[in-house]
């Protein structure tokens, strides 16, 4: 691993920094300000949940169009556009003076943070690495776990000392002073995949590059989405409702933020294990595995509200997220090829963002109707079990097709 990182340092660091700074558009970071926004604009759980849902849905609808930029522009040029817009969105979120401004800020944070920052990193990595794609993706996606482990704690510390607006100001400064220069340097020089030589000499069969229209006409693609959308829907629901769960279960104020460290550490370990497994067996072989720990997390959250139960939930989420974060980065180029990867991934990222939008909106509305989140988790856990069985069949179908 050390030799691999040394040989590919700039591209691994660039992808890591993009996924790390995507945190400003992720629910686990945005949710740290929900209580303040609800108080400032007199919004209920359901009302803010619907605002969050519609703003995120808007970003999901835009992603298939904006996401194609990575197929027609060099990554460094896309970064030079995306990062400053994201920095502006963080300032808008901190100083929103109306519900409309807040909705616009959330829309931009989701589109350019969660959506485009991750999309650039995983598309470039999937395109630039072939033989060791699993290992490369497993290192790049660790930026998400780095963000989960550090940024919510830093934000809560700043918010307690200086107010929540200070956290958003520091975020904008970090994006422009640290994130933008580092990622531009890292992606200034594209990488030539070593796997191209292996494919040319016949030792590794080439993968046909499907167009986006061909992918959308492939039934197996829609079957895969049934399972792939579960982690963003469920994970976002849990992160979004952290204040609600803290109040419901009488947890200490910073317990949830601290528990993210456990999830992040577990995710790191299983992301690296998944990367090695993908390089050895293929991404398709891991499809049946990533939903079972997620089902366990849902059932654990439904069964009890003690601090120990929360730690168990985060441990299981970390296992599922570790496998799925690496799997989703390597699966699409493995199945559909690298040439149109930006257009293909823009659809999958849009669908994932749609799932993150639906989670808070649907569950928040159900909470307003008197259905507590732990009860909802029972049904979500059952869905994961059924979807895992479907992923097993999809994996077998893909092996037969190849």
**pLDDT band at residue 198 under the 50/70/90 scheme:** very low
pTM over 0.85: no
Alpha helix segments (H runs only) across 187-306: 195-200, 212-216, 219-228, 230-240, 242-249, 255-281, 291-303
| Full set of structural domains in the chain with CATH | 8-401 (1.20.1250.20)
CA 144 centroid distance within chain: 7
pLDDT for 111: 92
pLDDT for 206: 63
pLDDT at 119 over 80: yes
pLDDT for 194: 59
pLDDT for 46: 76
CA distances from 30 to 175, 250, 289 (A): 16, 22, 29
Would you say the C-alpha torsion 325, 310, 351, 172 has a positive or negative sign? negative
pLDDT for 402: 67
pLDDT for 1: 67
- Determine what percent of the chain is predicted with pLDDT higher than 70: 96
pLDDT for 316: 94
**Residue of 143, 312, 151 whose CA lies nearest to 238:** 312
**Residue of 240, 237, 18 whose CA lies nearest to 113:** 18
pLDDT for 191: 81
The rounded distance, in Å, linking the Cα atoms of 342 and 64 is 9
Q: Establish how many alpha carbons lie within 13 A of residue 36's alpha carbon, considering only the half-sphere containing its beta carbon.
A: 19
The rounded distance, in Å, linking the Cα atoms of 25 and 4 is 30
Rounded to 5°, angle at Cα 11 from 10 and 14 = 85
pLDDT digits (tens, 9 = 90+) for 143-160: 987 887 788 888 888 888
pLDDT for 106: 94
pLDDT digits (tens, 9 = 90+) for 239-270: 878 778 888 777 786 788 778 788 878 988 89
pLDDT digits (tens, 9 = 90+) for 333-349: 888 887 788 888 888 88
CA distances from 291 to 205, 287, 372, 386 (A): 30, 8, 23, 9
**pLDDT band at residue 378 under the 50/70/90 scheme:** very high
pLDDT for 361: 77
pLDDT for 200: 39
pLDDT at 37 over 60: yes
pLDDT at 83 over 90: yes
The rounded distance, in Å, linking the Cα atoms of 304 and 249 is 9
Summarize the confidence of residues 286-299 as an average pLDDT.
92
Comparing 330 with 81, which gets the higher pLDDT? 81
The rounded distance, in Å, linking the Cα atoms of 290 and 161 is 39
Tabulate helix, strand, coil % of the chain (nearest 5): 85, 0, 15
Comparing 205 with 256, which gets the higher pLDDT? 256
pLDDT at 196 over 60: no
pLDDT at 199 over 80: no
The rounded distance, in Å, linking the Cα atoms of 17 and 34 is 26
Average pLDDT, the chain: 86
pLDDT at 205 over 70: no
The rounded distance, in Å, linking the Cα atoms of 276 and 1 is 10
**pLDDT band at residue 197 under the 50/70/90 scheme:** very low
CA dihedral 117, 57, 381, 299 (to 10 degrees): 70
CA 317 centroid distance within chain: 13
pLDDT for 71: 84
pLDDT at 238 over 90: no
Query: Which 3 state secondary structure label does DSSP give 372?
Result: coil
pLDDT for 201: 38
Confirm if 320 and 297 have CB atoms less than 8 A apart.
yes
Confirm if 340 and 209 have CB atoms less than 8 A apart.
yes
Reading the block at residue 266, the tokens are 């577990």
pLDDT digits (tens, 9 = 90+) for 150-193: 888 888 888 888 888 899 999 999 999 999 999 999 998 888 76
């Amino acid at each position: 691993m050390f030799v691999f990182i040394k040989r590919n340092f700039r591209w691994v660091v660039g992808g890591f920094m993009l996924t790390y700074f995507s945190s400003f558009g992720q629910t686990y970071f945005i949710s740290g300000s929900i209580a303040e926004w609800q108080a400032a604009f007199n919004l209920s759980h359901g009302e803010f949940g619907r605002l969050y849902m519609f703003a995120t849905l808007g970003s999901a609808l835009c992603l298939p169009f904006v996401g194609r930029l990575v197929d027609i522009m060099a990554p460094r040029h896309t970064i030079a556009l995306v990062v400053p817009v994201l920095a502006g969105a963080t300032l808008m979120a901190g100083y929103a003076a109306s519900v409309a401004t807040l909705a616009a800020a959330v829309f931009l944070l989701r589109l350019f943070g969660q959506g485009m920052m991750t999309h650039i990193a995983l598309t470039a990595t999937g395109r630039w690495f072939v033989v060791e794609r699993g290992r490369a993706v497993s290192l790049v996606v660790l930026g998400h776990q780095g963000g989960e482990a550090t940024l919510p704690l830093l934000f809560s510390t700043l918010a307690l000392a200086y107010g929540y607006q200070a956290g958003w100001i520091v975020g904008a400064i970090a994006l422009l002073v640290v994130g933008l220069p580092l990622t531009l340097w890292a992606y200034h020089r594209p990488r030539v995949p070593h796997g191209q030589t292996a494919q040319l000499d016949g030792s590794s069969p080439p993968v046909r590059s499907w167009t986006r229209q061909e992918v959308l006409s492939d039934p197996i693609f829609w079957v895969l989405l049934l399972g792939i959308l579960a982690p963003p829907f469920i994970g976002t629901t849990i992160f979004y409702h952290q204040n609600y769960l803290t109040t419901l279960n009488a947890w200490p104020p910073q317990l949830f933020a601290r528990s993210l460290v456990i999830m992040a550490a577990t995710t790191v370990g299983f992301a690296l294990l998944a990367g090695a497994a993908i390089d050895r067996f293929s991404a398709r072989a891991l499809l049946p595995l990533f939903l079972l720990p997620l089902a366990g997390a849902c059932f654990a959250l439904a069964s009890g509200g003690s601090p120990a139960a929360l730690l168990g939930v985060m441990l299981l989420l970390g296992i599922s997220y570790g496998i799925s974060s690496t799997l989703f980065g390597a699966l699409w180029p493995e199945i559909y090829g690298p040439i149109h990867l930006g257009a293909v991934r823009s659809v999958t990222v849009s669908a994932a963002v749609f799932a993150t939008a639906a989670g808070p909106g649907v569950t928040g509305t159900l909470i307003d109707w008197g259905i507590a989140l732990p009860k909802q988790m029972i049904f979500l856990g059952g869905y994961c079990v059924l979807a895992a069985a479907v992923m097993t069949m999809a994996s077998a179908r893909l092996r037969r097709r190849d």
